[in-house]
Structure 1
């Protein structure tokens, strides 16, 4: 039987009927909730801080805009009130009033990033205050006297007193980035007039630390003053400072500067660090004191290179050995603080050779590895710029001279030993084995007890090597973790 051919219109009409009879069922389940809207307070801290930097960083907000000029009037109280040609710090303080959570984050960033210094100048002659502020190049706030007096969140109070005067002539606030300009003005004034420093007193107190390492805060706020000298009096409050730091800085500023006295003062910081690091409970203090001594050395060669480079070879040797001692001390204090100075006393199975690291521990162990590598570089006078600690902060022409002969083989052996401990703590047992093998060779038989300890550590490390792991994985893993701090 022949198949009847269907008309195309028939197919279309059937489809049309089906479409008319089709209905859409109403879903019984509720639609999924919309994802929450992103707010500033929900952003990751690195992104939020980047936003804050463009709105609240006094350096960035002043980029590529006109300079500030100041005028002043003398108030009936005798205090100078300044006016600025434009807002000196055009930051966006509206962030402080958006919400409680955002306000707290914005204020914390604002004060910690800028490190404001409240500067008070007491002098019988208002012209001296005007000259200092106008000619030093310091960019300062022109907020009213009462507002500045009520401030409690700034980083430091600095008071300069001329001839024991009680008359306040100026009270201003400025970020720490301008502190070197003020210090340079004082230095130039003392050189131009020999009696200038002896006719002035300084008072300093750190009010807030913002959870910064104390050594870093001292470096930003106080270390620039170390090379001002011959003041009649300097009073530095020891609150919020490392032990002994205030006393040493006071001594430096009230006597004439000499390279020998400077080296003695900085060496005293290292002595205190050694004492503090002897006990684990004070390990962090010891580490910060070592860092403070390193910062002091860096500032010295940045601010007084001619004086220091003109000294005899014995002075350069003392400086390099002090830097070596500090770098070694930083690494040792971190290892002891986290219990990695004697890791071979802990037993583990072969599958447990990869250490358990937190972001903070990873950061600290990488810091220890870097410091111990720097100590080894100094002791071997390595030509590699990547490991020479001076080149991280100084131009090549300011780096003090060094010589391998200034260090003994046993001291190089100690560097290899401690570097091996750091590599073992990071799970780099192959690297650690190489370090410790060199340590045994360098230490020799001069100290049988120490050599025996290193040999025992070498056997433990060699037995912990996982030959299926690629060298460097532990360092890379720690670097990833450390970025989360």
Structure 2
């Protein structure tokens, strides 16, 4: 029988302990925290905010609101049959991050307007609020006066009265109802407009593009004419916009030619800003002109369509000029940053900067494509900018003969350059081939066409560059 000598317990385990100590590694990773609202993706959080804080969404399926009123200290006090805006503001108190996001969403999504009415007759203020169809908050006038985060102050004064009869808050989605009511009142009696004054002040922009904010809050006021006095504070607006709006609201009646001149001046401001390399202001002016054109055909289609053909030609050429100008400026703004074919994935360029460039270049692609649709009078509604925002019956007529071959060549060239930046060399080659054919003497046209042909990778499916840019822009 073979015997095995026993080992001392210390000897028996020393080697194993030494080896384990050598192989041991400290786990420095932090324990995963519990999931919370703050850890959800931004898109999901925004959807939650929508269900809780969007004044339009929370009213879907709810019964109509009726108001009763009383008068205290000569000021109207209202009560509603149900909460006009059944939002859930408890989310403001979850934590610091969620509170900041939710409050920003609440005010920027709803764009609240503080309306103050001055009249010697309280009944006039009551009629305006209740008959206009505006859904407004019933918070006390004292509470409304303390608000500092709403988007705009709007004051309507009857016959220079200093007696404030009502102060209410309502979302900008109800501005069309109020403005339509004021327009009908002015049409009912010619004395109504001259006896009223309107004061407008945009207080908060929420980091929105200025042109968009002007469109949401102010552009529809151009429907009003013959107002006795209008004062629009120019703060937080594009240069010259306040003066243009004041003039359009105080003229005796709507004049299509004067309106077109005013919009052309906005486009001129866009060109001037871009020539000074002030790209952002230039693009905002261009967008503002497009918004003005769109709103006019949405609200005044009949008088605009009754104008001679040359008027429609001027409108279409102005829209083409704005779309092309925006597209070209977006490219020039980022020309240096996009010189490399791999700018979309270049780690040397910060991610946020690449996202911003991708968004701008996609906008440039859309704008140049829409300009091309106008210059060629494309029958495809998907690329026609008017079809995106207007009913078909209100769209102004267009003809390809209103544009020259040289102008079409410039537009094809702009499309080709933008497609090259986005890595769509096959698309770019087709664009630039047409550009060279229409404008053989165009500066850099032949060189750009050659570069596009050389850049084609037949292994890459067309549209890949656009999809990559879209994914990057979405983040």
Normalization by structure 2: what TM-score?
0.90
Matched, 1:58 2:55: yes
Q: How far has the Cα of 1:159 moved from its partner?
A: 0.6
Distance in 2, matches of 1:233 and 1:468, equals 65
Q: How far has the Cα of 1:354 moved from its partner?
A: 7.1
Q: Contact 2:119–2:161 at 8 Å: present in 1 too? A: yes
Q: How far has the Cα of 1:212 moved from its partner?
A: 0.8
Quote the residue 1:375 is aligned against: 371
Quote the residue 2:453 is aligned against: 462
Matched, 1:338 2:340: no
Are residues 98 and 406 of structure 1, via their aligned partners in 2, closer, same or farther at CA, if it must alter by over 3 Å? same
2:284 to 288, 295, 298: 288
Quote the residue 1:202 is aligned against: 198
Matched, 1:388 2:379: no
Q: How far has the Cα of 1:118 moved from its partner?
A: 0.2
Distance in 2, matches of 1:289 and 1:354, equals 28
Matched, 1:90 2:81: no
Matched, 1:314 2:300: no
Give unmatched runs, 5+ long, in structure 1: 1-27
Distance in 1, matches of 2:152 and 2:343, equals 47
Q: How far has the Cα of 1:428 moved from its partner?
A: 1.0
Q: How far has the Cα of 1:429 moved from its partner?
A: 1.5
Q: Report 1:210-249 matches (<5 A).
A: 210-249=206-245
Q: Secondary structure at the match of 1:323?
A: helix
Distance in 2, matches of 1:185 and 1:283, equals 38
1:480 to 460, 471, 475: 471
Q: Contact 2:371–2:411 at 8 Å: present in 1 too? A: yes
Are residues 290 and 35 of structure 1, via their aligned partners in 2, closer, same or farther at CA, if it must alter by over 3 Å? same
Matched, 1:264 2:261: yes
1:141 to 132, 137, 141: 137
Are residues 297 and 199 of structure 1, via their aligned partners in 2, closer, same or farther at CA, if it must alter by over 3 Å? same
Q: How far has the Cα of 1:352 moved from its partner?
A: 5.1
Cα deviation, 1:403-459, whole Å, max 9, x if unaligned, reads 011000000000001111100110111211221111111113xxx4xx242112222
Q: Contact 2:344–2:358 at 8 Å: present in 1 too? A: no
Q: How far has the Cα of 1:464 moved from its partner?
A: 2.5
Q: How far has the Cα of 1:33 moved from its partner?
A: 7.6
Quote the residue 1:251 is aligned against: 247
Q: Contact 1:353–1:464 at 8 Å: present in 2 too? A: no
Q: Secondary structure at the match of 1:52?
A: helix
Are residues 430 and 33 of structure 1, via their aligned partners in 2, closer, same or farther at CA, if it must alter by over 3 Å? closer
Distance in 1, matches of 2:30 and 2:218, equals 55
Q: Secondary structure at the match of 1:387?
A: coil
Are residues 321 and 33 of structure 1, via their aligned partners in 2, closer, same or farther at CA, if it must alter by over 3 Å? closer
Distance in 1, matches of 2:122 and 2:293, equals 37
Q: Contact 1:340–1:425 at 8 Å: present in 2 too? A: no
Quote the residue 1:49 is aligned against: 46
Q: Provide the alpha-carbon RMSD of the alignment.
A: 2.0
Give unmatched runs, 5+ long, in structure 2: 1-23
Q: Contact 1:355–1:425 at 8 Å: present in 2 too? A: no
Distance in 2, matches of 1:355 and 1:467, equals 20
Detail structure 1 runs of 4+ shifted over 3 Å in the superposition. 32-35, 351-357
